[in-house]
Amino acid sequence: MKLAEEFKKIAGDIKIIDKDEEKEMYSHDMGDVPTIMTKILFQIQPDFVVQPKNAEEIKKVLAFATEKKIPVIPRGAASWGFGGVIPTNAGIVIDLSPFRKILYLNKAQKTITVEAGARWSDIDILAKKEGLCLMTYPSSKFSTVAGWIATGGYGINSFRYGHLSNQIDSMTVITPSGQSKKLNPSDPEFNYFVSTEGEFGIIVEVNLKLRDVPQASYSHLFYFESDKEAFMFIEKIIKAGQADALKPNAIRFLDENHLNDINEIMHSKVFKKSAGVLMEFSSSEEDKKFSTIIGQSGNLEEAPRYVASYLWNERLFGMKTKRLGPSILSSESIIPIGSAAGFIEKAKKLGANFGVEIFIDSQIIDTKMALIMTNYLCDSRKFKYYIDLPLAMMLIKTAVSMGAEPYGLGIWNAGFFNYLYDSEKKQKLLAYKAKVDPNNIMNPGKFFGIKSKFFNIPAVVFRPSIFSFSIKILILLSPVIGKIAILLMGKDKKIDSLDFELTTHACAKCGNCIAVCPAYLVTGNEALTAKGKIALAKKIIEGKNVTQEEVENVFMCMHCKACEEICQTNLELMMLWDALEKRIEGKFGRPEDKIDEFLKEVDVSKDYWEMVERNN
């Protein structure tokens, strides 16, 4: 509180969020790690949250944090699950998601300049009006540009266009000392800001390269007897493609469990229950070339066109199957294509030990490597979840022992740091960190190493040497631990229909809804969005105390159904809002005046009407 008050004196008109119930949104991300656990380890509640509107305001915040020596945690859409935006020792969260303007599109040079919080989806919509579109984009297209630069970079179309960093023309970053730097990929400092999870500064503006809108989309889905055959086919196609100068935009692998789960959600048998490989081309010439190659390989089972198109068009909704959970746990690693099938086999065995079904989603990111997501459904409301949680780490451990790199560190994978950076690279990173951030205010207590409460004793577990060792032990013991767990608590069963309580758990917290929410656009308040309201509903269902102010947020809603339309997990949100409003109205009454005020605010907002017309 005191810090927030102090900052307010110098803040000018920087928007500050410092009420306890509002700050709570900023103490977790998409990951389903029980709050009890994070709270034991860390001080996850930030001192306060700021929503800056420009670079000057960001500098002001950094100067304040440097002076007070408190952590600064940059935050985008919070749709990454490894704890990158969770404070470990309080501090200031810089919420960049309302800092989302698209500044300038250069049609001749095919570039677009955007602010850090700009959404990929918004950029694509705007660029398409000028005949341009994104090259590589994340499967959570409603995440922020800077967020994905800092955490990922491999996604849809990676196979053809490579890592996101290839598509950055230049970007402006602000270092903790308040220095603003415009970097382009040839700058030696450039790479310190890509996939480094906000350890060295804050990305504020990005100039992205675009491509022409392709003439059409041709997608193909092939079925295979086993995962191994599928990956062999992928390797063959890559080789044939290299010879014929043919490159699909994307190659995606889905295993039989994943395709089957999609069937279960749709209550129909659209997909065959077997391993599948999906590819996409964007011109008829490429498609013809590909057909010739395929024709020569013979004996391939291809799904009908519409099935392939459906799967391609659903590419942004990878967590759709979460509603069968209602929780989902994932780990991601980048592994050589040759080892992929072997890893998947091991992963599935490991999963079986714990009574969970591993399903795979993989993007082939270049001619050598595959980004593999190993996911499994579970139920965060049950005690077994605590047994299921470490499985995610065991899966990564299995992968790295087969030559993989972890895809991102955050908090939960920080123990794998050494598998991502060898000691030479580590020294370089540490040296640069010491140079630009001597006070260690940028996103501390993760990435390089975990810092926890209680004199850092619990964090010992996360020390790479100890972590690696203990996970290894766990893997070895898994047949025993897993069996006992299954014996005591049963297997994780899939859920067929969702009631309100389950709905609140099935929310993937992916933030898609935030990107399309008009109430959020006008107020900048995440608590008004579907994600925020679900968090509130969860609290109410659990019988926790809620304040009048907190519940009134529920009514600030245009009932535009945008959240329901965009929802990853297809939740019946409108029904949930009606029920929630009714329940709250019965207890707290209905804030008629506030609703009227809200409607007026929306009505005069230029941004709102732009949004309404944009979705036209």
Partner 1 sequence: MPKKYHINSKVTPLNLDYVFKFNIERGENCINCGKCTKVCIYEAHKRRKDDPRKMADPNTVVCRNCFRCIQECPRGALEKSLDKDFLNIGGSYWKSDIFITLWKQAEDGKVPVTGAGYRGPFTGSGFDGMWTDMSEIVRPTRDGIHGREYINTSVELGRKLNHLTFDEKGKLLSKVHDTVDIPIPIIFDLPPDNLSPNVKAALVKAAVELNTCIVLPAGDIASDRKKYIKNIIPLISHKEIDKHQGLIKNTRIVAIEYADELLSNFPAAKDKIKKISNALTIIRIPATKSVETIVSKLTQNGAEIIHIVADYRGREVNGSTDYNRRLLKDIIRAVHLKLIDDRIRDEVTIIASGGIAMAEHVPKAMICGADLTAVDLPLLIALGARLYEEPEKLLIIPEGLEKIPVRTLTQRIINLMGAWHSQLLEVMGAMGIREARRLRGESGRAIFFEEIDNDTFGKLFKKRETVNV
- CA 278 – CA 302 distance, rounded (Å): 10
Q: Which two tokens stand for residue 247?
A: 């490159």
Spell out the residues 6+ positions from residue 20 whose beta carbon is closer than 8 angstroms to its own: 45
Q: Interface with partner 1 by CB under 8 A: which range of 363-371, 467-475, 528-536, 559-567?
A: 559-567
Answer yes or no: are the C-beta atoms of 93 and 46 closer than 8 Å: yes
Closest separation in Å from C-beta 553 to partner 1 = 13
| Residue tagged 């926890």 (tokens) | 452
C-beta of residue 258 within 8 angstroms of C-beta of residue 359: yes
The span from the CA of 164 to the CA of 154, in Å, is 7
562 touching partner 1, by CB under 8 A? yes
- Nearer CB in complex with partner 1: 125/389: 125
Could you give the C-alpha distances from 298 to 277, 294, 435, 565, in angstroms and in order? 16, 7, 58, 41
At 591, list the tokens: 């804030």
How many chain residues are in contact with partner 1, going by CB under 8 A?
Answer: 16
Burial of 177: CB neighbours in 10 Å, binned 0-12, 13-18, 19+: middle
Residue of 221, 246, 517, 557 that binds partner 1 (CB under 8 A):
557
Q: Quick one: which H or E segment has residue 503?
A: helix 500-506
Binding part of the chain for partner 1, among 90-98, 148-156, 458-466, 554-562 by CB under 8 A, reads 554-562
Q: Does 586 bind partner 1 (CB under 8 A)?
A: no
> Coil, strand, or helix at residue 366?
coil
Q: What residues between 487 and 546 interact with partner 1 by CB under 8 A? A: 518
Q: Does residue 615 interact with partner 1 by CB under 8 A?
A: yes
* DSSP strands (E only) in 342-501: 358-364, 369-378, 405-406
Does 203 interact with partner 1 (rule: CB under 8 A)?
no
Whole-number minimum distance, CB 559 to partner 1, in Å? 5
- Nearest 5°: the CA angle 413, 416, 421 is 120
The single residue among 99, 200, 317, 555 that binds partner 1, judged by CB under 8 A, is 555
Residue 593 lies near partner 1 (rule: CB under 8 A)? no
Q: Say if CB 204 and CB 178 are below 8 A apart.
A: no
For residue 578, the minimal CB distance to partner 1 (Å) is 10
| Residue 616 touching partner 1 (CB under 8 A) | yes
42 lies in the site for partner 1, by CB under 8 A: no
Tell me if residue 332 falls in helix, strand or coil: strand
Of the residues 232, 474, 502, 558, which one makes contact with partner 1 according to CB under 8 A: 558
Rounded CA gap, 385 and 356, in Å? 11
CA quadruple 405, 221, 355, 374: dihedral, nearest 10: 20
473 binds partner 1 (CB under 8 A): no
Q: Is 575 in the site for partner 1 (CB under 8 A)?
A: no
Using CA atoms, how far residue 241 sits from 236, 254, 287, in Å, is 8, 21, 12
Q: Scanning residues 238 to 297, which ones bind partner 1 (CB under 8 A)?
A: none
CB of 517 to partner 1, least distance (A): 11
Instruction: Determine the Cα–Cα distance for residues 28 and 47; give it in Å rounded to an integer.
Output: 14
* 599 makes contact with partner 1 (CB under 8 A): yes
From the CB of 555, what's the least distance to partner 1, in Å?
Answer: 8
The residue (of 543 and 586) whose beta carbon lies closer to partner 1 is: 586
Looking at 596, 597, 604, 607, which residue binds partner 1 (CB under 8 A)? 596
Applying CB under 8 A, does 3 fall inside the site for partner 1?
A: no
559 binds partner 1 (CB under 8 A): yes
Q: Is 560 in the site for partner 1 (CB under 8 A)?
A: yes
Q: Which residue has the tokens 């004996």?
A: 299
Of 67-75, 197-205, 441-449, 594-602, the segment contacting partner 1 by CB under 8 A is: 594-602
Q: How far is the CB of 360 from partner 1 (least distance, A)?
A: 36
- Could you list the residues that contact partner 1 (CB under 8 A)? 518, 555, 557-562, 595-596, 599, 603, 612-613, 615-616
